[in-house]
Amino acid sequence: MTCRLVPWVRAESDPKHRFQKFHFCGLDIEHDTQEHEVTLYLNGWARRLLVKYGMEECKPETAPYKYTRPVYTGKQAPLSEDDSSASSPQLMTELRSKIGALNWRAACVNHDTSLAVSKVGSKQAHPTKALLREVNHILKYLAGHPNTVLQYHPSNMTLHTVSGASFCSETKG
Q: Dump pLDDT digits (tens) for 59-70.
A: 999 989 887 777
* Mean confidence (pLDDT) of the chain: 79
DSSP string across 74-111: SSPPPPPP--SPBPPHHHHHHHHHHHHHHHHHHHHT-G
DSSP string across 12-43: HT-TT--EEEEEETTEEEEEETTTTEEEEE-T
Indicate the pTM of the whole model. 0.73
107-129 pLDDT, tens digit each: 888 888 999 999 999 988 888 88
- Sign for the CA dihedral angle at 87, 92, 94, 96 comes to positive
Q: Which pLDDT score, from 0 to 100, does residue 163 have?
A: 58
Closest by CA to 100, choosing from 134, 66, 135, 133, is 135
